[in-house]
Amino acid sequence: MNKINFLPGLNSLRFVAATLVITGHAKEHLSELGISWYPDAEVFQQAGNAVKFFFVLSGFLLTMIAIRELEKTNTIHLRSFYLRRILRIFPLYYAVLIALIIINAGINPILLHKNTLGQPVVEGFLMNAFMLPNLAKAIWPETVGALGLLWSIGVEEQFYLFFPHLMKFLHKVKYKLIVLILVFACLFTFFRLVGADVIHFSPVWRKFITTLRFDYMLMGSIFSYLIFGTKTFGNSVLSVLNYKAVQLVIYVVALINIFFNIMPGGFVGGLVEPMFFSIIIISVSCTSNRLINFEIKPFSHWGAISYGMYLLHPFIAYALRFAFVKVDFVKHTFQTLPDLYPILLVLLTIALAHVSYTYYESRFLRLKDRLSKKIFN
């Protein structure tokens, strides 16, 4: 694992978020199979919030790394930035994309006598291959759920197009944090106006624009800049969060939100939610007087493979649901013990993600780490 820009505890948060995504999808799978599984339990309806947490975390970490690079080299090395992102994202993304198309447009027509892709094969593949899965999903709303998962990876990649240029610009201006907040405010307002159809776009483009969670990523950037880019504000924030009583309140509210979803919706929620996610990230990873040490094994390792968990769990779900349809014993077992389905989905996904990380992704991650060392050593 690359320790150059490592912050303690965050991998455990990644694992929790990935598990919420998987169990949320497990609930949907069981419903599609005609099995009711804790229909009113909010904890199993947190997949969307967990993905938004990943956006905030991404913005927070990208900004921290950019600040450290600017401090060391006085610039952002664009080639290195994009190569590091490519080496982390592309290998598994394209492997999953190709496998999903083969399964849904090649194997399923043979086994299930229908194409389950939900997109034209060639056009859909090209749009996903060019990192526009969120646009593909907007154009073809019947996109299969597994392929639809790629939308969030597309949002990340689209954010990367302007993020390093934004950081280089901020490095040149005097009031960096104020400028960053203004950029956030403009994008936040634009997305809300488009979502409310105050600014008119065609239905497809409106769906596409509302998938862009750049505001969540920029909120993570703002708080990262508070901690790593400013001394006065950063120290003030940390001095408050270093109180264990404050951390206790934060963690209790986080647990209550997971189980009862108390976050406000609409305009206010779009501000409060990413701010709260940012505060959780700082409390876990940046405070010196920690109430809880979140460097928990094996959660820390499972968090390191959370990207694989997110992208690979549909393949385990395919196998389990195929067994449900074809094997009476499996069908009877899941109908009698529906808890077994999400448990198997999580455990088998962890195993598959571990294999992917160890024998496939790590080959590219070693190259990524070498690029990082050249800059930060």
pLDDT tens-digit map of 328-342: 999 999 999 999 999
d(C-alpha 111, C-alpha 173), whole Å: 60
pLDDT of residue 334: 97
Please give the biggest Cα pair distance in the chain.
68
CA 25 to chain centre: 15
pLDDT at 114: 79
Split at pLDDT 50, 70, 90, the class of 183 is very high
For the segment 222-280, what is each residue's pLDDT rounded down to a tens digit? Answer: 999 999 999 888 999 999 999 999 999 999 999 999 999 999 988 899 999 999 999 99
Give the separation between CA 25 and CA 30, rounded to whole angstroms: 9
Nearest residue to 162 via CA among 135, 191, 192, 183:
183
pLDDT digits (tens, 9 = 90+) for 14-31: 999 999 999 999 999 999
Average pLDDT, the chain: 94
The pLDDT confidence band at residue 155, using thresholds 50, 70 and 90, is very high
Token output for 374: 């050249």
Is 243 strand, coil or helix?
Answer: coil
**Contact between residue 291 and residue 250 where contact means Cβ atoms under 8 Å apart:** no
CA distance 267 to 249: 24
- So what's the pLDDT on residue 49? 96
**pLDDT at site 52:** 97
Are the C-beta atoms of residues 357 and 301 closer than 8 Å to each other? no
The answer to whether the beta carbons of residues 342 and 22 sit under 8 Å apart is yes
240 CB neighbour count, 10 Å cutoff: 11
Q: What letter does residue 326 receive in the DSSP assignment?
A: H
Task: Kindly state the tokens that stand for 53.
Answer: 């947490």
Over 80: is that where the pLDDT of 375 sits? no
Placement of tokens 């060639």 in the chain: 122
Read off the pLDDT of residues 340-355 as tens digits, 9 standing for 90 and up. Answer: 999 999 999 999 999 9
Q: How many whole angstroms separate alpha carbon 251 and alpha carbon 284?
A: 10
Model pLDDT, residue 122: 95
The DSSP symbol for 368 reads H
What's residue 109's pLDDT? 87
192: its two tokens? 């809300």
Nearest one of 309, 290, 298 to 350, comparing CA atoms: 309
pLDDT of residue 1: 45
The average pLDDT across 203-209 equals: 96
Quick: pLDDT tens for 36-89.
999 999 999 999 999 999 999 999 999 999 999 999 999 999 999 999 999 999
The predicted model gives 110-121 an average pLDDT of 85
Report the percent of the chain where pLDDT is more than 90. Answer: 89
